[in-house]
Structure 1
Amino acid sequence: MTPPAPAYSGAKGGAVMRICIINTGGTITCTGSPLAPMPPARFAQAVTDLLGPALAAALPGDSLHLDDGLRFSEHGPGVLDSTDLRPSDWCRMAGRVLDLYDDHDAFVILHGTDTMDYSGAALSLLLNVTGRLGLPVATLSKPVILTGAQLPLFLQTPQGLALNLGSDGLANLTGALRAARLRLPEVVVFFGGVLLRGNRALKVSTTRFAAFDSPHLPPLAEVGITIRPGAAPALPGPASGAHALDATPARARVRAQLAAIAARIDDQRIVQIPAVPADHRAADPLLAQMIRAALAAGATGLLLEGFGEGNIPAGDGAIEAALRKAPVPVVIASRAIGGQVGAFHYAAGAWIAATGALPAGDMTPVAALAKLMILNAVADHHGWDRATRDALMIRSLAGECTPTDRLQGPLLPGQSLTAADGPVALVNDPETGPCLTLHGRVLWQAPGPGLLRMRGDRLVLIAPDGHLAWASAASPAPDAVAILTAHPPALHLVDPAGEAVPVTLLPC
């Protein structure tokens, strides 16, 4: 379908940015009683007629195009309330972005609030391809901004459509368009004046205009009188021009991956089970019954929401036995909004690690569910075995969790790295210095205390008095990434532009 006329065009001399608005439906586009999304062409015309001059004044020089080519169904308006979106619809959204990629500098996706956080998490993984170590090999290079509203942008009156002055829709739409000028190369959510990483966002309110929050990552930016950078850094974007989706081969890799995922994602049955206070000492605890029932019904993965740091009662062994027998991946997240799951070091949950369940770290349950579904759907396409898929579930692929297996700054005394693929740790002991351990057995010990950091193309140990106590071999890539692995147990320097020929640093 040919897109409608733009709401406004840039001034002569060229547009500052070419921004495309993709309409998926949602409250922001709704009218009537009960509320239902308008046909995209009608919504686009309303934006052009009622907001065109104001948008042109607010964003001088930019060129805004309203796309009505995305269809989830051939029946009705073709768009949906986000409650009705299926996982394969995430693939349709990603595919539309790829179809329009060359013609625009940024994308604003209008989306319902009910599942905006799911789509934000999924799109961040669908628009990037990563290798076995979690480093991107085909990477989004333009902003993709999801936004919507708690109240419709327009009202139906006897005189026709009118702007709804009580809605948050106009502020969210114009804020998202202004945030596009930051050109952050990632999927984000703009809502209530803040720009959040899409795979870190959670819907936290149905009544306040500040409907979304990010419990583990501060905003990337805040939009008010001016656009202020947030405390969290943006993702770095492509490692080279060849890896950016602007390049035809990189975009082809993403399209091939997307096709493989789209063919299988609706067959994924990830069952989310919360732990609740109950008599877990019963002969057959309810939680154990729920796990077995989910598996018997064909679950392809389990997402358990534990208490606190992922603690789950063992149930006198019955729950542990049910998890040990699970033939599908099991991920443990925290039911606490700001909770994170690590090494299961509380006695109440120490047994979990032995079952093979994977800790979600500081991923939200929303992001963990979308990620597990996508990894399951794409594993065969990439030839990933179970161990590789499990390690990728723990690794940060698109900023959805804090990496625990790579050096992102100096490793200070008292800090540590943990491998994603096994029980290997690099611990910087304040007294003896960094050491590499496997099940507590020391594989390598630094010559003394200090901080471990990258300096140019080498990893170095800086002693407390400031002198260079140790230096690794040089890396062929000056911007190499230090990644800890368990197979083999070592710290490697890896070229971020392709994961080619890592340099093993430790053990030396």
Structure 2
Amino acid sequence: MANVFVLYTGGTIGCKPDDSAGGALAPMPGPEFEALVLSMPGLADHKVADYEGLTWTMGWFDTTLDSSNMTPSDWITIAQTLVGAYQDYDGFVVLHGTDTMAYTASALSFLLPGLSKPVVVSGSQVPLIFTLSDALTNLVGAIVVAGTVPVPESTVYFDTKLLRGNRSEKINANQFAGFGSPNFPPLAEVGSFITQNTALWLPPPGPETSLSVPTNLAACQTALAAQALAVASFSVVIVWLYPGIQPSTVTAVLNVTQPAVKGAVLLAFGEGNGPSNPAFLSVLSDANARGVVLMDNTQVQAGSVLPGAYATGLGAVGAIGAYDMTPEASLAKLVCLFASGKSSAEVKALMPTPLVGELTVTAGTAG
């Protein structure tokens, strides 16, 4: 027996043509989407056919969102909703647009410490109202996984694969295999049966940290409320490096004061390299001296930043090597750590430290 809570936030899975937008797709309201889901084969009466005892309940955002409009405040709203329902359900599904799904799944891994139940973020490349769509298989798969696979993590389920949320990335804008995890294997795969790669899962929390303990739930809600107030007071940015990037461009981004930039994800070349001209490095060094936490991520989808491997590495100006952490996870981790009230020094110390399986610390130099 398992009951799964499905939180519909919007996204392509719930889209329909909107006459007021010239027929462009827009997410339908929650009650309309729930009625559509109930009409789908195998999902009538809030049950899952062929899975006796597996039921689902749906909630939704009052205003559904295209995920391009998601903000850190919405990440916290999702986390608060899940914590509020935590004691009443065995697993959770968050239906979300694909464009920023990896950011949200990453953020939930940091916002929900002590998860002992699965949180499965999913959606689709084509709306559920269309016949040729990946929506129904992703939706059913996500509910079944949330109700039967006891992985204590924030995950992404897409096209038969269950991925660690803070290792996931959108890798294709059109194909049904829209998500991947280039630096970490799937946690489970769904076919004629479900293959659970349990050796890769994070260990379940002990009673002192598990969200299953009511006092821990209350503490988590209090922490989330504080973070909800904090996220509007600072900014975390992404700076994509490119050949010929001007120091003035980086200055314009890092010197924003309203709200103040506290962290920056630098999408560097290769193993974490950037221009070595003094003016460019001076801008980064000045930002580091002001307390801006600089993350040295790579633009390359797979592989790892190796701090100090090249003379053009950014560690000399105080940037922290992200190793194999995705840019999405780096940004979400910066936001969540700063929103929790940590100082720049504390954040800088924690960013290269694995907290919830988001990175693998490696050693090595260029060959």
TM over 0.5: yes
1:249 to 187, 203, 215: 215
Q: Comparing both structures, which one devotes a greater share of its residues to helix?
A: 2
Alpha-carbon distance, 1:183 to partner? 1.1
Pick from 114, 138, 142: which aligns with 2:117? 142
Does the residue aligned with 2:48 lie in a helix, a strand or coil?
Answer: helix
**1:53 deviation in Å?**
4.1
- For 2:165, the equivalent position in structure 1 comes to 198
1:314 match: secondary structure: coil
Q: The residue matched to 1:35 in structure 2 has which SS?
A: strand
Question: Cα offset for 1:385?
Answer: 3.7
Match of 2:38 among 34, 43, 48: 48
Is residue 349 of structure 2 the alignment partner of residue 374 of structure 1?
no
- The equivalent residue for 1:390 is 348
Q: Tell me how far apart the structure 1 counterparts of residues 284 and 154 of structure 2 sit (CA, whole Å).
A: 34
Q: Does 1:291 align with 2:250?
A: yes
In the alignment, structure 1 residue 18 sits paired with structure 2 residue 10: no
Structure 1 Cα separation of the partners of residues 138 and 40 of structure 2 = 16
> Is the Cα–Cα contact under 8 Å of residues 219 and 231 in structure 1 kept in the other structure?
no
Match of 1:302 in 2: 264
Identify the residue that residue 176 of structure 1 maps to in structure 2: 142
**Corresponding residue of 2:55:** 63
Corresponding letter in the other structure for 2:58: L
**Residue 332 in 1 paired to residue 324 in 2?**
no
SS in 2 for 1:269: strand
Q: Assess if the C-alpha contact under 8 Å between 1:144 and 1:188 holds in 2.
A: yes
Distance in 2 between residues matched to 1:49 and 1:103, nearest whole Å: 25
Task: Please give the alpha-carbon distance, in whole angstroms, between the structure 1 residues aligned to 2:198 and 2:177.
Answer: 18
Contact 1:219–1:232, Cα closer than 8 Å, also in 2: no
Q: Secondary structure of 1:325's match?
A: helix
- The percentage of aligned residue pairs carrying the same residue is 39
CA distance in structure 1 between the partners assigned to 2:38 and 2:318 by the alignment: 55
Counterpart residue type for residue 57 of structure 1? A
Query: Could you tell me how far apart the structure 2 residues matched to 1:334 and 1:106 are?
Result: 34
Given that residues 293 and 347 in structure 2 are in contact (C-alpha distance below 8 angstroms), is that contact kept between their aligned partners in structure 1?
no
1:321 aligns with 2:282: yes
- The aligned amino acid for 2:107 is A
Shift of 1:403: 4.5
> Structure 1 regions of 5+ residues with no counterpart?
1-15, 72-77, 129-138, 155-163, 279-285, 405-414, 417-508
| Unmatched 5+ stretches in structure 2 | 18-22
Alignment of 1:95 with 2:87, yes or no, is no
Equivalent residue letter for 2:35: Q
Asked whether the 8 Å contact 2:149–2:196 carries over to 1, the reply is no
> Highest Rg: 1 or 2?
1
Q: CA deviation at 1:249?
A: 1.8
Amino acid at match of 1:312: G
User: Equivalents in 2 of 1:266, 1:166: separation in Å?
Assistant: 40
Please report the TM-score for the alignment, with normalisation by the length of structure 2.
0.91
Given the two structures, how large is their TM-score scaled by the length of structure 1? 0.66
1:56 & 1:309 partners in 2: Cα distance?
46
Matched, 1:120 2:86: no
Aligned length: 350
Runs of 4+ in 1 over 6 A off after TM superposition: none
CA distance in 1, matches of 2:185, 2:58: 30
CA RMSD, Structure 1 to Structure 2 (Å): 1.8
Q: 2:210, 2:267 → 1: CA distance?
A: 36
1:347 has 2:322 as partner: no
Task: Note if 1:215 corresponds to 2:215.
Answer: no
After superposition, what is the alpha-carbon deviation per residue over 1:306-350, rounded to whole angstroms, capped at 9, x for unaligned? 1111011111x112211111111111100000132132221222x
Partner of 2:196: 229
Counterpart code for 2:117: K
